[in-house]
C-alpha cells in the first residue's frame, strides 16, 4: 500500500474548516449552515494556486460557500446540490440583481399583511405532515408549539400572497428558513434533531415569530444588499448550479473543461442530511410526503443507513478490504445496524465513480481540494482520506499530499476503541 505524505496543518485549518467564521460575513450569514466551511478556506486555496482558475466545480454545493465566493471574483463555478432546501439557499445567495429599494417595499407589504393575517391560519395553510409536528395529544413530544407553527404558517401565507417576483420570494423563504429552528422545540445535535432542555416552557407567540422573520429580512439580508454593490454587480454562478443527484449531474460536464475542484462531500458518518434539515424541508413545502423524503434519500451519496441497499462487496482497494475484514470480525458486529457495512461499501463505490468522472472533466495541470474525515465502526477506524487517495491515483491523478486539518471526536459507541478521527484536505494534481 502506498504511503502518502500527511502534513499537520491543524494550526492553519482548525478554525477555517467550520462555518462559524461565516456567521457575520455578508450573504453567508443569511442562514447558518453549520456543516459547511468558511469563506476563508476558499481564500486560502486561491492564494496558493499557481494559476487563475477559469472553470471550477463544486460537486456538493451545500449552502453555496464556494460558488458564492468565486462569483465575487468573477470565476465561473459549476455546482450540484441534491437537497431542494440547500439548492434554494445557495441559488438565492448567488442571485446577482437584488435592489434594496425593491426589498424594502416587499418588507413593508409583508408587515402590513402580517398585521392582518387570518386568525384561523390553518384554514388557509396546511400544517406540515407527520405525527410529531404539533401537539395532537397522542405523543408527549412535538416539534412546535401551536403558536409558533401558526406564526410560521402566517409568514408562509403572506409570502405567497404578497411576493410575486421569484427572486424576492426566495429571499423571503430563506429568511423564513433561518428562524424555523429557533421557533421550534428542537436543536441540531450532530446526526439528528433533539429536543431543547426546557422546551415545554419556551413558548413563542405568533407575534414574536413574525418579529423574528421581519428582523432577519430588515437587518442581515437588507443591510447586505444595501452595502454589497460588489456582490450585486457580480455575474451569477446560480445558473451553473444544478439540482439533483451528483452522480447523474456530473455527466453533463464537458470533457477537459474544469481546472479546479473544491469540495467537501458528506462524510462517512451515517449522518442523514434529509433528517437534519427535515423541518426546513417540511415548513417550506419542499417535500410533501414521506414518499418524496425517501426519494430524496435515494438520490443522496451513500453515507447513511436510511436507505437499504442490496448487499455490496468492497471495491478493489487493499485498505478498504482490510477494514471490512476487521469490521466483520468484531464480536459485537451482530448488535450493530447490519446496513453499516453496505453503507461503507456503497460510499467508496460512489467515490470511485466520482473520480472516474473527475478524470474525464479535468484539464491537465488542474487541482482538486477534497475535504474528508475518517470514520470508525465496530471499533475499527476507516482511513477515508487514504482510501480516497488510492481511488484518485487509480484513476490517473497524483496525490500531492494529505493535510491534516483537525481531530474530530468519535461517537460514544467508539469510546475506548477509537478516540479521535483525522479530518483532512487531500491535494490532488491532474
Q: What is the 3-state secondary structure (H, E, C) of the chain?
A: CCCCCEEECHHHHCCCCCHHHHCCCCCHHHCCCCCCCCHHHHHHHHHHCCCCCCEEEECCCCCCHHHHHHHHCCCEEEEEECCHHHHHHHHHHHCCCCCHHHHHHHHHHHHHHHHCCCCCHHHCCCCCCCCCCCCCCCCCCCCCCHHHHHHHHHHHHHHHHHCCCHHHHHHHHHHHHHHHHHHCCEEEECCEEEECCCHHHCCCCHHHHHHHHHHHHHHHHHHHHHHCHHHHHCCCCHHHEEECCHHHHHHHCCCCCEEEEEECCCCCCCCCHHHHCHHHHHHCCCCCCHHHHHHHHHHCCCCCCCCCCCCCCCCCCHHHHHHHHHHHCCCCHHHCCCHHHHHHHHHHHHHHHHHHHHHHHEEEEEEEEEEEECEEECCEEECHHHHHHHHHHHCCCEEEEEEEEEEEECCHHHCCCCCEEEEEEEEEEC
Q: Report the alpha-carbon distance of residue 270 to residue 182 in Å, rounded.
A: 25
| Whether pLDDT at 356 is above 60 | yes
Of 192 and 44, which is predicted with more confidence?
44
Whether residues 378 and 261 share a domain: the answer is yes
Whether residues 141 and 55 share a domain: the answer is no
Is 278 part of any domain? no
CB atoms near residue 310 (< 10 Å): 6
Q: Which residues pair with 21 in a beta bridge?
A: none
Whether residues 106 and 37 share a domain: the answer is no
**Using 50, 70 and 90 to split pLDDT, how confident is the model at 339?**
confident
Whether residues 65 and 151 share a domain: the answer is no
**Structural domain ending residue among the three candidates 216, 232, 248:** 232
Whether residues 421 and 322 share a domain: the answer is yes
Is 297 part of any domain? no
What's the mean pLDDT when you consider all of the chain?
Answer: 93
| Whether pLDDT at 236 is above 80 | yes
- Kindly report, residue by residue over 88-97, the tens digit of the pLDDT: 999 999 998 8
Whether residues 109 and 66 share a domain: the answer is no
Is 294 part of any domain? no
Q: What is the pLDDT of residue 229?
A: 53
**Using 50, 70 and 90 to split pLDDT, how confident is the model at 235?**
low
Is 300 part of any domain? no
Whether residues 159 and 257 share a domain: the answer is no
Residue 423: which CATH number? Answer: 3.40.50.150
| Whether pLDDT at 253 is above 90 | yes
| Whether pLDDT at 175 is above 70 | yes
Mean pLDDT check: name the lowest of 29-33, 49-53, 346-350.
29-33
| Whether pLDDT at 232 is above 70 | no
**Structural domain ending residue among the three candidates 232, 262, 292:** 232
Tell me what the mean pLDDT of segment 216-234 comes to: 79
**Structural domain ending residue among the three candidates 213, 232, 251:** 232
Is 90 part of any domain? no
> Which domain covers residue 364, as residue numbers?
6-84+234-270+305-429
Is 298 part of any domain? no
Whether residues 198 and 212 share a domain: the answer is yes
Whether residues 310 and 197 share a domain: the answer is no
Tell me what the mean pLDDT of segment 161-176 comes to: 97
Tell me what the mean pLDDT of segment 296-314 comes to: 89
Q: What percent of the chain has pLDDT over 70?
A: 97
- Kindly report, residue by residue over 380-418, the tens digit of the pLDDT: 999 999 999 999 999 999 999 999 999 998 877 776 678
Whether residues 192 and 209 share a domain: the answer is yes
Q: Which of 265-274, 283-292, 301-310 has the highest mean pLDDT?
A: 283-292
Is 292 part of any domain? no
Is 95 part of any domain? no
Q: What is the pLDDT of residue 21?
A: 75
- pTM assigned to the model: 0.94
Q: Report the alpha-carbon distance of residue 349 to residue 3 in Å, rounded.
A: 22
Q: What is the pLDDT of residue 12?
A: 92
Q: What is the pLDDT of residue 331?
A: 67
Whether residues 326 and 180 share a domain: the answer is no
Whether residues 175 and 58 share a domain: the answer is no
| Whether pLDDT at 9 is above 70 | yes
Q: What is the pLDDT of residue 82?
A: 97
Give the count of domains, the chain.
Answer: 2
Q: What is the pLDDT of residue 234?
A: 56
Amino acid at each position: 500500500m502506498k504511503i502518502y505524505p500527511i502534513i499537520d496543518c491543524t494550526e492553519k485549518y482548525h478554525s477555517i474548516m467550520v462555518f462559524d467564521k461565516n456567521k457575520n460575513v455578508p450573504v453567508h450569514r443569511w442562514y447558518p449552515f453549520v456543516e459547511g466551511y468558511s469563506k476563508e478556506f476558499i481564500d486560502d486555496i486561491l492564494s496558493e494556486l499557481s494559476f487563475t482558475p477559469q472553470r471550477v466545480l463544486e460537486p456538493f454545493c451545500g449552502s453555496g460557500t464556494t460558488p458564492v465566493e468565486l462569483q465575487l471574483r468573477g470565476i465561473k463555478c459549476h455546482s450540484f446540490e441534491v437537497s431542494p432546501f440547500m439548492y434554494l439557499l445557495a441559488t438565492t445567495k448567488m442571485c446577482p440583481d437584488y435592489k434594496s429599494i425593491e426589498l424594502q417595499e416587499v418588507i413593508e407589504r409583508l408587515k402590513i399583511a402580517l398585521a392582518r393575517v387570518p386568525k384561523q391560519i390553518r384554514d388557509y395553510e396546511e400544517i406540515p405532515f407527520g405525527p410529531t409536528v404539533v401537539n395532537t395529544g397522542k405523543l408527549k413530544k412535538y416539534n412546535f408549539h401551536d403558536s409558533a407553527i401558526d406564526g410560521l404558517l402566517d409568514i408562509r401565507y403572506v409570502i405567497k400572497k404578497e411576493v410575486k417576483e421569484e427572486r424576492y420570494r426566495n429571499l423571503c423563504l430563506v429568511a423564513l428558513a433561518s428562524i424555523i429552528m429557533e421557533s421550534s422545540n428542537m436543536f441540531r445535535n450532530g446526526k439528528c434533531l433533539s429536543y431543547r432542555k426546557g422546551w415545554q416552557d419556551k413558548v413563542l407567540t405568533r407575534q414574536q415569530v413574525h418579529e423574528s422573520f421581519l428582523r432577519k429580512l430588515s437587518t442581515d439580508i437588507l443591510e447586505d444588499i444595501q452595502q454589497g454593490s460588489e456582490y450585486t454587480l457580480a455575474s451569477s454562478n446560480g445558473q451553473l448550479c444544478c439540482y439533483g443527484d451528483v452522480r447523474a449531474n456530473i455527466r453533463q460536464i464537458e470533457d477537459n473543461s474544469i481546472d479546479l475542484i473544491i469540495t467537501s462531500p458528506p462524510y462517512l458518518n451515517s449522518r442523514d442530511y434529509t433528517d437534519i434539515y427535515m423541518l426546513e424541508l417540511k415548513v417550506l413545502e419542499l417535500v410533501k410526503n414521506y414518499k418524496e423524503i425517501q426519494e430524496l434519500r435515494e438520490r443522496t451519496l451513500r453515507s447513511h443507513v436510511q436507505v437499504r441497499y442490496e448487499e455490496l462487496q468492497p471495491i478493489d482497494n487493499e485498505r478498504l478490504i482490510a477494514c471490512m475484514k476487521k469490521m466483520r470480525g468484531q464480536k459485537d458486529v451482530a448488535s450493530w445496524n447490519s446496513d453499516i457495512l453496505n453503507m461503507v461499501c456503497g460510499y467508496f463505490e460512489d467515490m470511485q465513480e466520482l473520480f472516474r468522472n473527475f478524470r474525464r472533466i479535468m484539464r491537465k495541470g488542474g487541482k482538486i481540494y477534497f475535504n474528508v474525515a475518517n470514520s470508525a465502526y465496530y471499533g475499527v477506524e476507516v482511513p477515508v482520506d487514504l482510501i480516497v487517495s488510492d481511488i484518485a491515483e487509480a484513476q490517473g491523478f497524483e496525490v500531492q499530499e494529505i493535510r491534516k486539518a483537525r481531530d474530530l471526536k468519535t461517537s460514544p459507541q467508539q469510546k475506548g476503541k477509537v478516540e479521535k478521527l483525522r479530518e483532512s484536505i487531500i491535494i490532488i494534481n491532474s
